[in-house]
Chains A and B, each alone.
Chain A
Amino acid sequence: MVRLHLLALLAKEPAHGYELKQALEQTFGSAYPSPNIGQIYVTLGRLEKDGLVRAVDVEQSNRPNKKVYYLTAKGRDVLMTWVDEPTEGPRVRDEFFMKLVLAPLTGIADRMALITRQRRHYLSLMSDLNDLLARTPPADRVAMLLIEGAMLHLQADLDWLERCQEDLA
């Protein structure tokens, strides 16, 4: 998926790898980890091989040439298809639910203990998000929205945990 993120950034303007990394960091703020530079270069290499971007060498004094990438027409088509189609797939993965259903069958764990431990785990995540939100400058709207989204997901997880407790315990 980093492929499409990079295509989107290149649709704005041609850039070299490090500029793309910086653009991701500036857009998503501290709330989201941006990929490391190696991953960006590997992805750009693959995009180039697939004909979605092209690179030109730009000379620099006293340093090796840098490669500036730009979007091809084919790359723009792929990007537009991604943007235009509804986003498929599950919104969350839930490994915990599998444990909750399967573990008691084998006698290796008790549902009540699984649920209460998981509840405390969610709350400690939530507590971290509270701290993160407090440290995020309110002007950083993208980061704020992302943290608030994460909080709402956690709240839903906790509500579901309670439903599981009512029904399964």
Chain B
Amino acid sequence: MSAVVKTVNLVKIYQDGALPVPAVRGVDLQVEPGEFVAVMGPSGSGKSTLIHMLGGLDARTSGEIWLDGQRVDTLSESAWALLRRKKIGFVFQFFNLVANMTVGDNVELPALLAGASPKVARERRESLLAALNLTDRAGAAPAQLSGGEQQRVALARALANEPSLLLADEPTGNLDSRNTRDVLRLLSDVHKQGQTIVMVTHDARVASLADRLVSLFDGEIVDDGRIARRRTRTAGEVIDLR
């Protein structure tokens, strides 16, 4: 089976006036189907730029991006838009919901755009809203929801088209612990069902759901390895109660 994502010597240089600012400096990354990869690193290390390039939201300066075996860095913007509808789900720190559509329609739309039948799109909407405890908010406008609820809607929306790849950029950035718990549970469930995920996060709880951690520093991968599963039986291994 081929990799869901592959990058070859991927580079992004921003231009700040006359000054070139390298944000990503030669990243080779390969993500296999069903893998959950967390990307961590200090601010300015290139995490967000990398994930935006993977989703076609930011053009690469040089290098290659492959998605499901297809080279995509050479695509036009409109071709990228089509590809995103079918293959990519995106969650951001700020939710970007469509303000004049109901919560339910926000979730259903991506499935319809990806070509699902109205019946399938409706089923998908209902199961996702239920999984995130949002069923009774389906008729509300996004503005009527709390920040945490809106973030859950954004996650449901990102998963509605059953994407090959879920990309997330600080998806729990503004969540309280209850909302974080719902988001964690859904991410963990869809990952178990085989969803491929690449996620930028500072949140250790979310990152610890991943199989693999990629550390970025100064636009380069400085570490790439599995997150071992141990068997810590008690919190006493972290907090030493006296």
Report A's interface with B, CB cutoff 8 A: 1, 30-33, 89, 93, 112-113, 116-117, 119-130, 132, 143, 146-151, 153-155, 158-159, 162, 165-166, 169
A33 to B232, CA, bound (A): 11
A112 to B220, CA, bound (A): 12
One digit per residue, 1 when the CB lies within 8 angstroms of any chain A CB and 0 when it does not, for chain B 206-236 equals 0111100101010000110111111111111
* B42 lies within 8 A of chain A by Cβ: yes
Looking across the interface, which residue of chain A has its beta carbon closest to that of B207?
A: A123
- Having A117-B223, A120-B226, A124-B229, one finds 8 other A-B pairs with CB under 8 Å, namely A30-B233, A116-B223, A119-B223, A120-B227, A132-B232, A132-B233, A150-B235, A166-B42
Report B's interface with A, CB cutoff 8 A: 38, 40-42, 177, 184, 202-205, 207-210, 213, 215, 217, 222-223, 225-242
Q: Report 13 cross-chain contacts, Cβ distance below 8 Å, ordered by A residue.
A: A30-B233, A30-B234, A116-B225, A120-B226, A123-B207, A124-B228, A126-B204, A127-B230, A128-B231, A132-B235, A150-B238, A153-B238, A158-B204
A120 to B228, CA, bound (A): 8
A147 to B222, CA, bound (A): 31
A130 to B205, CA, bound (A): 7
A169 to B220, CA, bound (A): 13
Where chain B touches its partner, the secondary structure class is loop
Looking across the interface, which residue of chain A has its beta carbon closest to that of B44?
A: A166
Residues of A within 8 A of B217 (CB): 112, 165, 169
Q: Is the CB of A119 within 8 A of B234?
A: no
Q: Is the CB of B205 within 8 A of A116?
A: no
A124 to B38, CA, bound (A): 12
Looking across the interface, which residue of chain B has its beta carbon closest to that of A91?
A: B239
Residues of B within 8 A of A148 (CB): 177
Q: Is the CB of A120 within 8 A of B213?
A: yes
